[in-house]
A and B are shown apart, each in its own frame.
Chain A
Amino acid sequence: MTPTGSAIAIAGAVRRGERSAREVVDEHLAAVEAREDEIHAFNLVLADEARAAADEIDRRVAAGEDPGPLAGVPIALKDNLCTRGVPTTCSSKILEGWRPPYDATVVQRVAAAGAIAVGKTNLDEFAMGSSTENSAFGPTRNPHDTSRVPGGSSGGSAAAVAAGFAPLALGSDTGGSIRQPAALCGVVGVKPTYGAVSRYGLIAFASSLDQIGPFAHDVADAALLLEVIGGHDAMDSTSIPQPAPSLSAVLDDGVDGLRVGVVRELLEGVDADVAASVQRAAEALAAAGAKVEEVSVPATIYGLSAYYLIAPAECSSNLARYDGVRYGLRVDADDITEMYTATRAAGFGPEVKRRIMLGTYALSAGYYDAYYGKAQRVRTLIINDFAAAYERFDALLSPTSPTTAFAFGAKADNPLAMYLSDVCTIPSNLAGHPAMTVPFGAGDDGLPIGVQVMADALGEPVMFRVAKALEEAVK
């Protein structure tokens, strides 16, 4: 039995005392119980903790208190978000068993809003991957077809929402790690503007690209969750010093008169059924009153190359700290250098090692200018080209993923083929712009297709309006 009800509906009912949070949580835990063995969305299910938290929400409602806008709503947390006293693994053996002594800012914020964490979701190790096959604890399966991947790296969060384990989930998106799995699992996924959501407590992959964002069944729930987690945080120097944008209030403003550009370069090389969905989405927006045109954002074609120099470079530095000294795995050895190399060889999986190697190479003496330095200049070109497009358009449209969900092992031996899964999502990360995916139709294989809506920095309100219009069109 799949639980029903949007997060907004659940929170409303719980706050009004029409449903108990305990009943909501039990219903979702039952769904987990029924299908988790098959899906493996979670590294850890927090059943007892969730029930206790639900009872506390119910007590507060009974006492006449308002437990917050997400009262009693189950939420799944990607297992790279630090949770105090609760194992946080990044799906890596190197952190197995580690219990952070603090909560990530977003974890604090969802709890303060009354949401109830039901588990830590599986991911590609340290968020490096596009299929969740790189998890040290085994892959997650796509709830729509368990022979297919859920996408990645936030595959566990996408699958948890798609399978009805929780109406909401949090993920992180460095090159598409929220949007691509959301598209492949048929749910809404949002990568906010860089700096719109605090990264404090998000275990870093590539710091200048990482951003936390929501998964939800629908656009309105995603908007509400982003309102809860967004806004300035003094613990993150890269946090934008502004309150979270008001999104729920503008969702129904429609797209009449908005200018929407379909990015030509991002339609190249995508599957025909995916391209067709984007075409239909463009038509739907035009039908709703938007002015839709094709637009060229030329430098986006260099996004993938720039990304696969910048992200590994930052990751090689961010992952240096996993050295067996202070926490996590240690493989004992006679001297410290041997201990380092043995620990890291045993603790990291092949994709993480590959990216550490690539990034170390790209930063090493003699190559910095040619690789990392060059990639940062390309980043500027992409930002400039987007800026030109946003002079003419309020939002941009593209596919989210070039394909629908693919079979396990299909790209496992070819890193480059796997990296191409992110070709449409990467440009927004490089630019720091918001982007989100909305389910829009199905592929020839019957699996979900997502359409990506992009906007200029802090353009979440207009982005959500377009997304909402697409959602309406599908209904």
Chain B
Amino acid sequence: MSELVHADEWETVVGLEVHCELKTESKLFCGCRNAFGDEPNTNVCPVCLGLPGSLPVLNRHVVELAMRVGRALHCRVERSIFHRKNYFYPDMPKDYQISQYDEPIDVEGHLELPDGYRVGIVRAHIEEDTGKTAHIGGSGGRIHGADHSLVDYNRAGVPLLEIVSEPDIRTADQAKAYVSELRAILVATGASDGKMEEGSLRVDANVSVRPSHRATFGTRCEIKNLNSLRSLARAIEYEARRQIELLEAGESIVQETRHWNESEGRTSSMRSKEEAFDYRYFPEPDLVPVAPDEAWQATVAASLPVLPAERRARLADAAGVAPAEVALLVELDLDQLVLDSVALGADPRVSINRAQNEVAADIGNAGRLTPSSFAALVAMETAGKITATQAKQVLAAMLGGEGDDPAAIVAARGFEAMDESTLAASVDEVIAANPDQWQRFVGGDQKVTGFFVGQVMKRTQGKADGKAVTRLLQERARR
């Protein structure tokens, strides 16, 4: 039943599994520190080393974070139990992983992307992380060709929340948007520090393709080792292309797990020839069920902060723009500044632009701005008291610690906008000094506009407003 179809009739179908390391003081089942980057094997105890006789005890805060994320993703929080997933691997101290299997804590929710598209959430479940393995003696720390490996169990037993989406994602960009939005929710709920580069968020992508008119899904492959949004997008695009090429060549897709190699820009099969996995799941006898009652759920719900989607909507509403346009501000946690600034009467557009450009460029110092100082700056710019260029410089100075009174900085730098007659005099001087260029300008050559503006700026030491200069030039050319 091979069916030769042209590539642009294919649709990519993606479901994502995001593993989020939960931000807790201690590990999932023991009191060892949950910390990144410590000396190897210094945050270990009998429990997370799987020493004989040790037993797990569940971290209450993990359950609360899982409940918070569940609420934020519009899931039902259910009675859940833990299972053991049995397989041998040296990074797993007990040679089984304790994980929620068929009765997870969070079920059936959705996540709304900034553009309004909804991605279904199948479930989110709690499980323990593995240790870290370093491969020695091969090339570039790769497993193949290595002579031996070294294991650090600091990460073993760190709490993870695995969030599984429905296969609702259709493009690499949508996958990136989903992970960005999920990351924002995880950070907002206090569940994660969101650091993909430290492995706090790890994404597996289930990718399949199908002719775009078909309702049934194609055979999927699970892509692992996606350590950045860039890898995620590249891997999805590569994998979809690989599958389409196979299908167009009349071959079929083998359901398997594939490894993304960032430097080679391709996925490769992870199957090792002798391995057939059979996880032999069974209920973890060392733990009891987790069944949050109404009161506990209500307390957790009340502790939820305002979530990114609502923050976008709130600011978009106040500023009269589309929610997608303020997504970056919410991500940068600058939405409240802009919202307050707008409430104080500042121009929404200018507030948004200054915040997501100049303030974002020095985000570490954003705390130095108060809504009133920011609003005052924006007001000076929109009133024409200072130019856009000057406004950017004053903002940089405020962020740089020169005080939160923009008027004082403007005065100190002599930034008061020039009065019209002084500016006109400068413009006339420049015209007189450059007759050839002026003839070209008058003749309609727009390319010399920049030259004249630049010359006026030079003569006025940058105090001139570029727009005003252009206006004066045009008036004079019409005479």
Contacts and interface: CB of A to CB of B under 8 A. Distances in A.
B55 A321 contact: no
Contacts of B93: 321, 326
B282 A368 contact: yes
Which size bracket describes the interface of B in this complex? 20 to 34
Interface in B286-332: 286-288
A200 interface: yes
Contact of A320 (B55, B58, B94, B282): B94
A204 B86 contact: no
A237 B95 contact: no
Given A313-B282, A364-B278, A320 B287 contact: no
A151 B366 CA distance: 74
B161 to A, nearest CB: 20
A323 B95 CA distance: 8
Contact of B86 (A90, A207, A326, A363): A363
Q: A98, A238, A320, A337: which has the most chain B beta carbons within 10 Å?
A: A320
Nearest to B29: A237
Interface in B50-98: 50-58, 84, 86, 88, 90, 93-96
B49 interface: yes
A435 interface: no
Contacts of B274: 337
A237 B52 contact: no
Which size bracket describes the interface of A in this complex? 35 or more
B84 to A, nearest CB: 5
Interface string A317-333: 10011010111000000
B408 interface: no
Given A202-B53, A320-B88, A323-B88, A237 B287 contact: yes
B317 to A, nearest CB: 48
Given A101-B46, A326-B50, A340 B88 contact: yes
B352 to A, nearest CB: 51
Interface in B243-289: 274, 278, 280-282, 285-288
Contact of A321 (B95, B151, B287): B95
A40 B151 CA distance: 39
A400 interface: no
A386 interface: no
B49 A199 contact: no
Given A317-B86, A320-B94, A372-B282, A199 B55 contact: yes
A320 B53 contact: no
A234 interface: yes
A135 interface: no
Contact of B288 (A234, A238, A321): A238
Given A317-B84, A317-B86, A204 B282 contact: no
A80 B274 CA distance: 35
Interface in A89-134: 90, 95, 98, 100-102, 104
B233 to A, nearest CB: 34
A231 interface: no
A316 B285 CA distance: 13
Given A321-B94, A326-B49, A326-B50, A237 B55 contact: yes
A360 B278 CA distance: 10
A203 interface: yes
A82 B52 contact: yes
Contacts of B94: 320-321
B288 A82 contact: no
Interface in A295-316: 313-314, 316
A201 B53 contact: yes
Contacts of A235: 55, 57
Contacts of A102: 46, 51, 53-54
Contacts of B50: 321, 326
B435 to A, nearest CB: 84
A236 interface: yes
B144 to A, nearest CB: 12
A95 B55 contact: no
A88 interface: yes
A237 B90 contact: no
Interface string B37-55: 0000000001001111111
Nearest to B288: A237
Contacts of B288: 237-238
Contact of A90 (B52, B57, B96): B52
Contacts of B46: 100-102
Contact of B286 (A101, A207, A313, A372): A207
Contacts of A236: 55, 57
Contacts of B282: 313-314, 317, 363, 368, 372
B289 to A, nearest CB: 11
Contact of A101 (B51, B95, B280, B285): B51
B86 A320 contact: yes
A200 B54 contact: yes
A320 B90 CA distance: 11
A417 interface: no
Nearest to B46: A102
A208 B54 contact: no
A82 B51 CA distance: 10
A370 interface: no
B255 to A, nearest CB: 16
Contacts of A368: 280-282
B280 A237 contact: no
Contacts of A320: 86, 88, 94-96
Contact of B55 (A200, A316, A325): A200
Contact of B151 (A98, A201, A237, A325): A325
Interface in A368-383: 368, 372
B96 to A, nearest CB: 5
Contact of B52 (A321, A340, A365): A321
A456 B285 CA distance: 21
A327 B50 CA distance: 10
Contacts of A337: 88, 274
Contacts of B53: 80-82, 88, 100, 102, 104, 200-204
Nearest to A195: B288
Contacts of A101: 46, 51
Nearest to A372: B282
A457 to B, nearest CB: 15
B59 to A, nearest CB: 12
A416 interface: no
A346 interface: no
A336 B135 CA distance: 13
13 contacts: A80-B53, A82-B51, A88-B52, A100-B52, A101-B46, A201-B54, A204-B286, A236-B57, A238-B286, A316-B280, A326-B50, A327-B52, A363-B282
Interface of B: 46, 49-58, 84, 86, 88, 90, 93-96, 149, 151, 274, 278, 280-282, 285-288
Given A200-B54, A237-B287, A317-B84, 13 more contacts: A98-B52, A102-B53, A102-B54, A201-B53, A203-B53, A207-B286, A237-B57, A321-B50, A321-B52, A323-B88, A326-B49, A363-B86, A372-B282
